[in-house]
Amino acid sequence: MKTPSPVKLTLVIAGVILCWAFSPTGVHMGLHSYSPGQLALLRFLIASVFMGGVALVVGIGRPRLRDVPWLLVLGFFGVFLHHMSLNAGQQWVTAAASSVLAQSVPLFSVLIAFCCLKERVSAWRWGCVLLGLLGVLVVIWGDLGVGDLDPRGLLILLAALSWSVYFAIQKHYAHRYSPLTMACYMVWSGTLMLCVNLPGLPTAVMRAPLQQNLAVLVLGIFPSALAYLAWGYVLKHVEVSRASVAMYLIPPVAMVMAATLLGERITLQVVLGGVIVLASVAAISLEGRWRSVVQAERAQAVTVGVLGDEGVAEVHGGR
């Protein structure tokens, strides 16, 4: 497979950032005419049609019968619960604050690894989690003030938690299906579950202003479908650890979009809280890279001890 140029990869990554950064603003625009459930369903009906067209052109694999229940579980956590909670929570917080709170996924991943997967969590990671939760509190304080906060706004944290569960389950099936195949079945199964919100949706579509329907159309095609396909393309050519760094740019870009399109006033406390949350997430990622380097050095040291310098030279020379 021909490796794309750095310029092309940079443009694709920039497109992904713009797509996902628009999501909080698009959701806020859509919530003026749709309920949280109706907005989620309409968004993913559009995404399902788009992904269906891509699947017909490119082709995807058929799921194994034994994997169907787990693909439904992925659709539940990755689409149904995540977007129902996200839409409901965004009724009570600004788009800027939502973009920051939604980036707390790695913090919940650590908690899931400890509580459910029984993995050993280092003191460094626990410190990162506590720092990240402090950043969340700062964002909440800076957004509307603790006294004016509606607890329903914390549903965005439930959305982040559901996304963490989705990633944890997805790891067990990533080797069986291509990224496109996984994305298609996740979107389709989640959309099927969202159909519980179908009553009243056609009437809401007819009554909604053109601008808000266009916002939902953009949500369905770009953040919900095209961005996932583009991200899969990036991960084929760039290491996950390097590509994930670009995700830290989503909140600041989302803040600029919210200020431009919605006229939101971004407070200094929200920016400070966002920096704290992203710093804690980055610190978790850096620990993972540091551990990989240490393990590689230890493995090389063991090889040197067993084979000796001449043996190591023969091993490397035989590649």
Q: What is the mean pLDDT of the segment spanning 12-31?
A: 91
Closest CA to 232 of 287, 292, 277, 187: 187
Examine residue 187 and state whether it is found in any structural domain, yes or no.
yes
Share the mean pLDDT of the chain. Answer: 79
Of the pLDDT bands very low, low, confident and very high (cuts 50, 70, 90), residue 22 is very high
Determine the Cα–Cα distance for residues 145 and 176; give it in Å rounded to an integer. Answer: 46
pLDDT confidence of residue 147: 47
Q: Are 234 and 12 in contact (CB under 8 A)?
A: yes
Determine the Cα angle at 225 with ends 110 and 65, to 5°: 75
Q: What is the mean pLDDT of the segment spanning 176-198?
A: 89
Examine residue 300 and state whether it is found in any structural domain, yes or no.
no
pLDDT confidence of residue 308: 53
Examine residue 276 and state whether it is found in any structural domain, yes or no.
yes
Q: What is the mean pLDDT of the segment spanning 186-214?
A: 94
Examine residue 299 and state whether it is found in any structural domain, yes or no.
no
The pLDDT tens digits for 132-142 are 777 777 777 76
How many domains does the chain fold into? 1
pLDDT confidence of residue 315: 37
Signed CA dihedral, 281, 162, 185, 28: sign only: negative
- Which of helix, strand or coil describes residue 187? helix
User: Residue for token digits 């030279």?
Assistant: 313
Least confident of 8-17, 40-49, 108-117: 108-117
The residue segments making up the domain with residue 219 are 6-284
The pLDDT tens digits for 67-105 are 889 889 989 998 999 999 999 988 888 888 888 877 776
Q: What is the mean pLDDT of the segment spanning 5-22?
A: 86
Of the pLDDT bands very low, low, confident and very high (cuts 50, 70, 90), residue 13 is confident
Least confident of 84-93, 120-129, 253-262: 120-129
Distance of CA 43 to the CA centre of its chain: 16
Q: What is the mean pLDDT of the segment spanning 217-237?
A: 83
Examine residue 311 and state whether it is found in any structural domain, yes or no.
no
**How deeply is 183 buried, as exposed, middle or buried, from its count of CB atoms within 10 A (0-12, 13-18, 19+)?**
buried
- Which of helix, strand or coil describes residue 94? coil
Examine residue 249 and state whether it is found in any structural domain, yes or no.
yes
Signed CA dihedral, 113, 88, 195, 213: sign only: negative
Of the pLDDT bands very low, low, confident and very high (cuts 50, 70, 90), residue 273 is confident
Of residues 235 and 91, more confidence is placed in 91
Give the chain's largest Cα–Cα span.
Answer: 77
Q: What is the mean pLDDT of the segment spanning 162-186?
A: 79
Determine the Cα–Cα distance for residues 89 and 140; give it in Å rounded to an integer. Answer: 12
Please state the pTM of the whole predicted model. Answer: 0.77
